[in-house]
């Protein structure tokens, strides 16, 4: 099959547009998409704290990156941090009520933006696309 552009270039382009759209949507709430994704992660288990380590793993970023994001979320009062009594090396992070309010607002925006990017595909194509994406992702290790 003849290809003008590599599939990598296409993936990158879609991903870039996604990120730009998401950041534009978040700007009105004085947030970034990375901060919002971190909040979403923390919101899934509102009663429990997550360690910085766990957070960095599920966000797929370096430790220093996660630390920066948490630090900025903390400055805004969207998360609070505390030490772990059982392992004093560990820093625990927990979403605050203020943080939870922001998440609720953002969730709608984000899924709308996603759907918009998929508008070029039929329902059947979306299903195939999703399966193929999953397949590639699973092989990533």
Partner DNA sequence: TTAGTTTGAATAGCATGCGATTGATATTTA
Partner DNA sequence: TAAATATCAATCGCATGCTATTCAAACTAA
Footprint on this chain of a copy of itself (rule: CB under 8 A): 1, 3, 6-8, 10-19, 60, 110-111, 114, 117-121, 125-130, 132-140
Nearer to DNA, 59 or 126 (CB): 59
Q: Scanning residues 5 to 44, which ones bind DNA (CB under 7 A)?
A: 16, 20, 23-24, 32-35
Please measure the distance between the N-terminal and C-terminal CA atoms of the chain and give it in whole angstroms: 28
Does 82 participate in binding DNA (rule CB under 7 A)? no
Distance CA 99, CA 86 (A): 26
Token pair in block for residue 12: 């990158």
Cα 98 from Cα 96, distance rounded (Å): 5
In this complex, which beta carbon is closest to DNA, that of residue 71 or of residue 129?
71
89 binds, among DNA, a copy of itself, none (CB under 5 to 8 A by kind): DNA
Dist. CA 14–CA 101, nearest whole Å: 29
């Amino acid at each position: 099959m003849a290809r003008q552009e590599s599939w990598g270039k296409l993936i990158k382009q879609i991903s870039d547009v996604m990120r730009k759209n998401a950041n534009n949507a978040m700007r009105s709430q004085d947030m970034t998409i990375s901060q919002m994704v971190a909040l979403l992660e923390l919101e899934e288990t509102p009663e429990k704290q997550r360690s910085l380590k766990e957070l960095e793993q599920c966000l797929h970023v370096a430790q220093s990156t996660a630390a920066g994001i948490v630090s900025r979320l903390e400055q805004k009062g969207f998360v609070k941090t505390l030490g772990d009594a059982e392992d004093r090396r560990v820093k625990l992070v927990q979403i605050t009520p203020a943080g939870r309010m922001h998440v609720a607002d953002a969730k709608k925006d984000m899924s709308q933006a996603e759907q918009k990017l998929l508008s070029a595909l039929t329902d059947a194509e979306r299903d195939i696309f999703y399966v193929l994406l999953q397949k590639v992702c699973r092989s990533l290790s």
